[in-house]
Amino acid sequence: MNEYRITHIRKPDTYSSLQHITHVKYSGVIHTREEVIRLIENGSASFYVSEQGEYSDVNVVRPTFGNPYIKTAPDADGETRDNLLSLPQC
């Protein structure tokens, strides 16, 4: 399985209060959220975020209602904020 560091995200509106990621960038390539979800779920790849010395795995969330999305797992110190949302826009 390949492991990739996500370095950037894209939201529909950079200044929107909606925290909805549509694309991510890793290894110089931009992929849709759906493609990243597919890669994680079929075991082809795993993803992580590493910012300011913090390392967090990226997981898929499948809510009962609505579309699946990606978010980071809690940090080792229990921090639960989604580190993906702190990444720069691409």
Percent of the chain with pLDDT over 90: 56
Q: State yes or no: pLDDT of 61 exceeds 70.
A: yes
What is the mean pLDDT of the segment spanning 16-35?
88
pLDDT band with cut points at 50, 70 and 90 for residue 77: low
pLDDT at 28: 92
Question: pTM for the complete prediction?
Answer: 0.86
Burial degree of 24 (CB within 10 A; 0-12, 13-18, 19+): buried
